[in-house]
Structure 1
Amino acid sequence: MNRKKIGILFGGSSSEYEISLKSAYGIISHIDRKRYEPVLLGITREGTWFLYQGDIERIKDGSWYRQAACIPAVISPDRRFQGVVYMQDGEIKQIRLDAALPVMHGRLGEDGTVQGLLELAGIPIIGCGTKASAVCMDKDLSHRLASSVGIRVPKSKVLTIWGDREKALAWAEAVGYPIFVKPATEGSSIGISKVFGEKQLGQAVDIAFQYDAKVILEEEIPGFEVGCAVLGCEDPLLGCVDEIEVSGGFFDFQEKYTQKRSKIHVPARISAEKMKEIQEAAKRIYWVLGCKGFARVDLFLTPEGELVFNEVNTIPGFTPYSRYPNMMKQIGLSYGEVIERLIQTEVLS
């Protein structure tokens, strides 16, 4: 039986480059080689594209692009090819792809840019498409859409790099400290600050503007964060709900990948009824934002038991130990089975 050629894109010009390598390594090392032939496309921090044909352990340790096994390559936007074009031995060659799985976290990977290239090329995307990826990456737009279907969202104020800074102080004083200041389109809590008073606000806004021309100020939501993994399209599979317990501070970039002051509980320490409510809310958000394939929906659970939408990760961390696979593990799916089901959402559609 001919194996399906699956393009796996990793790396990228993002602050989450290293996380992408870890997630991609997990998928590449567990994909069913009897059914699929992975075509590895690595993108360096500088944005150089390579067809990688070397030892996948080099992806794990970050040295992949220093290898002779790297061949300059690109995704051809010409829909006649539907795949990868590269130069070898003085000849232009191509690999037609049956589907492509971007495993690129953050900007220029999770925000619709790569998805747009794949759609232009006519290559089926495993995961969310261009529009859903772009909307979910934008905290302001995703909140507006979630609110339209009755999901509570934090009170917020949007600032642009061209003005409105003077309005930040008045808004923060009206809402009350502490507040969060966030780049509107970054992932992994990069550029986010928790602000406790007027003196910190200006610096926090400056930090956020280093990552985005659009910044969002949000009220602090009491309680704790919960997440739900969603897998599929029209009738998606819902994973077990998890809970983030943080002892001091908030779940920032460093804490997400070291967990020195935090702990992930899966299943979450909540009632079965509340877990069902969270799963149903996650599914509604998944649908209204146009997601497909897979995503992780994150919400806050207040002390009063109310759900408040936080964000959707359209390409969540995907190592064997990441939150998404662990939520699916709790409902009986192994890491390899999750990858298989994910690929089938597009390859067999």
Structure 2
Amino acid sequence: MQTLEPTVRLFFIMEEVVEILSKERILVLMGGTSAEREVSLRSGKAVLSALLTLGYPAYALDYNHSAIDQILIDKPDLVFLALHGQNGEDGTVQGLLDSLDIAYTGSGLTSSVLCMDKVLSKKLFKYEGIPTAGYKILKKKDLIDSDAIHTLKEEIGLPMVIKAATQGSSIGTYIVRNEEDILSAINNAFLYSHEVLAEEFIDGKELTVALLGNEQPEVLPIIEITSQNEFYDYESKYTQGMFEHIIPARIDRISEENIINISKQVYELMNCKGFARIDFMLDKNGYPYVLEVNTIPGMTELSLVPDAARAAGMSFEELVERIVRLALKK
């Protein structure tokens, strides 16, 4: 038997090599140039670590112009998109990869554009009868009228939510409780986007639903979010101890079923693929309102989708594997 040991050992080594070579080469794109760059780097590093643990020949690139040249040279089998915000989550990179005929995780170009732009999302929700808070779309020219702010207060009411139209992670989002603070909040939001959304404030529970799948998505456990700040803002999202993810959410069965059904409807409406996260407010009467859809939700150690996956009995590595397989089936 001793004379066979080197051969047996070589057999197992060769088996491992074959397994590694048979796995897809995966590029993790992260970083980028958006206001969410630091979060993207954290998501990308977590995903890369999981892929390497799973045995994939994976590597990472910080997304910039030189990264595009590198993608052209490397031609990876799959790009795992860990980019957040503009020039990453908004269809820009998706369109580039489509033109290069390179597979990537998550939703396609059109879906990414629709979900990233809160104005487009709102219009589509309203047209399709998806419950969403009342709103008004603002452009800079709308503020020329001296009565514009008072009119806005009369139409939307106070408190109101002011949002930059094309940002994530609550960047450029403000809750305004006094009329004299409306204009400054709008001007701050315009620093991040050429359009701003003024939205009715919904008093109630903040909930989020993660979905996994292409045509028939699996709905992961609903999460209720509480925050140390006034709402689940950028600081709360990415600072340990500033938030609590409550699973299962403290809602009744009827509300749960309603939110699950709406989540599936929205996922299909927006043509989401792979995975996405849909944010809700549930008012004190148990009525749900869709806030927005995140097509590349965070994958950091503090993020919601990994928490929902864990609650469903899925490790982070298993979650990453599922996303990879779904991308290759797209």
Secondary structure of residue in 2 paired with 1:106: coil
TM-score by length of 2: 0.88
Contact 1:16 1:106 in 2 (8 A): yes
Post-superposition offset of 1:273 = 3.6
What is aligned with 1:301?
282
Partners of 1:210 and 1:200 in 2: how far apart?
16
What is aligned with 2:101?
122
Partners of 2:82 and 2:144 in 1: how far apart?
35
Q: Are residue 136 (structure 1) and residue 110 (structure 2) matched?
A: no
Matches within 5 A, 1:216-235: 216-235=197-216
What is aligned with 1:55?
none
Partners of 1:331 and 1:33 in 2: how far apart?
21
Q: Are residue 39 (structure 1) and residue 59 (structure 2) matched?
A: yes
Partners of 1:219 and 1:252 in 2: how far apart?
17
Secondary structure of residue in 1 paired with 2:271: coil
Post-superposition offset of 1:179 = 0.6
Q: Which moved more, 1:144-153 or 1:282-291?
A: 144-153
Q: Are residue 49 (structure 1) and residue 66 (structure 2) matched?
A: yes
Partners of 1:165 and 1:331 in 2: how far apart?
51
What is aligned with 1:316?
297
Partners of 2:158 and 2:141 in 1: how far apart?
25
What is aligned with 2:234?
253
Post-superposition offset of 1:228 = 0.6
Partners of 2:189 and 2:267 in 1: how far apart?
27
Contact 1:41 1:49 in 2 (8 A): no
1:317–1:165 CA distance, 2 compared to 1 (3 A): farther
Q: Are residue 110 (structure 1) and residue 105 (structure 2) matched?
A: no
Contact 2:235 2:242 in 1 (8 A): no
Instruction: Give the paired residue count.
Output: 308
Letter in 1 for 2:60: L
Query: Aligned match of 1:192 in 155, 173, 180?
Result: 173
* Cα displacement string for residues 283-315 of structure 1 (whole angstroms, at most 9, x for unaligned residues): 111110111011100111111110101011111
TM-score by length of 1: 0.83
Partners of 2:87 and 2:95 in 1: how far apart?
11
What is aligned with 2:315?
334
Matches within 5 A, 1:1-349: 1=18, 2-31=22-51, 36-43=56-63, 47-50=64-67, 74=69, 84-85=71-72, 94-164=73-143, 166=145, 167-247=148-228, 249-258=230-239, 261-349=242-330
Partners of 1:327 and 1:102 in 2: how far apart?
20
Contact 2:228 2:236 in 1 (8 A): no
* Cα displacement string for residues 232-280 of structure 1 (whole angstroms, at most 9, x for unaligned residues): 1011111100001235512211121126553221211123442232122
What is the root-mean-square deviation of aligned Cα atoms in Å? 1.8
Q: Which moved more, 1:157-166 or 1:293-302?
A: 157-166
* Identity percentage of aligned residues: 35
Secondary structure of residue in 2 paired with 1:169: helix
Partners of 2:153 and 2:255 in 1: how far apart?
32
Contact 1:159 1:165 in 2 (8 A): no
Contact 2:44 2:60 in 1 (8 A): no
Write 1 or 2 for the structure with the bigger share of strand.
1
Greater Cα radius of gyration, structure 1 or 2: 2
Letter in 2 for 1:3: K
Post-superposition offset of 1:5 = 1.2
Partners of 2:302 and 2:116 in 1: how far apart?
23
Partners of 2:26 and 2:85 in 1: how far apart?
21
For structure 1, the residue ranges without an aligned partner over 5 or more in a row are 51-72, 76-83, 86-93
Partners of 1:169 and 1:211 in 2: how far apart?
23
Contact 2:156 2:198 in 1 (8 A): no
Partners of 1:273 and 1:195 in 2: how far apart?
32
1:101–1:169 CA distance, 2 compared to 1 (3 A): farther
Partners of 2:240 and 2:46 in 1: how far apart?
20
Partners of 1:21 and 1:259 in 2: how far apart?
17
Q: Which moved more, 1:290-299 or 1:30-39?
A: 30-39
